[in-house]
Structure 1
């Protein structure tokens, strides 16, 4: 199976650390509320809270300094990575930030290609990056934690799987423990 993975909230549990930093910048908004908005998208959360340029810059500075220890991989995701024929990532995260965490947990070698914000593709849900990866690797399944992550896959006719999200998708998982029991072609 050839799998296209989202990064934040799919491979690594990053949103609690992001929500903590956003709450810190906003002051009067709880981490839980920030988490809910960030799970839609960072752009959405920034707009929702009407963050100023100064707040956005401070938030970006804080998240760039988060240690990998605060962004652990989800339980059992490594088991799936080991069993897949091919894994690729498409993320809005920058190359340095993505590799910092992937390298820390020893995950980098599981991926044939890691497409980041630095590659110049339009942001999701634009399908350009997915199309590039699909043509190159013949992707069977796209896995993400947000509807935004699977919209481009659906447009290209790929199977889709949402992690910890019940929006419409071909497959849904709350845990990676039983991935191959749930994701059956």
Structure 2
């Protein structure tokens, strides 16, 4: 099975650290839980929802880039899936430096045949261009993400979809990766 993975909130538990920084930028007037909820839709959505100024956006981006990998651990059991998959690829809006910083720290880089980041110039999700590129090159069977935004491009290409910790419409749903091979079964 060849799997296309989202990065934030799918492979690595990054949103608590992001929510903490957004709450900090907002002067603590918005809880980390409320920031988390809006960030799970998308960072662009959260920035708009909380009406961050340009200087707040700059501060937030600076804080995000300085988060240590220890604050962004991989989800339990995800490495078991990476080891068993035929091929793994990533499509993320994260910049290359930030993505590799965490992947390298946890020794995950070796599991991926290709990592497409914001630096590669593809349009942002839900545009399917990056997914089409990865599918054409790696014959993707399944796209895994934590937000509906992550699977819309896969659906457009006719790929199987799996949402992690999200019950929006998808072919498969997981709350914990330990159940992956019980839940994700192709007919």
Q: TM-score range by the shorter chain?
A: over 0.9
Alignment-derived partner of residue 2 in structure 1: 2
User: Residue 126 of structure 1 aligns with which residue?
Assistant: 127
**In the alignment, which residue of structure 2 is the partner of 1:12?**
12
Counterpart in 1 of 2:178?
A: 177
Measure, in 1, the Cα distance between the counterparts of 2:125 and 2:73: 24
Could you tell me how far 1:167 is from its partner in structure 2? 0.1
Alignment size in residue pairs: 185
Unaligned residue ranges in structure 2 (runs of 5+): none
TM-score (norm 2): 0.99
Deviant stretches of 4+, over 3 Å? none
1:79-94 maps to which residues of 2 (within 5 A)?
79-94=80-95
- Partner Cα distance (1:30, 1:24) in 2: 9
- After superposition, the CA RMSD in angstroms is 0.2
What CA distance in whole angstroms lies between the structure 2 residues aligned with 1:49 and 1:79?
37
User: Pairwise mapping of residues 13-162 of structure 1 onto structure 2 (< 5 A)?
Assistant: 13-27=13-27, 28-162=29-163
Deviations 1:99-125 (A, max 9, x none): 000000000010000000000000000
Gap runs ≥5 in structure 1: none
What CA deviation, in whole Å up to 9, does each residue of 1:77-116 have, x standing for no partner? 0000000000000000000000000000000010000000
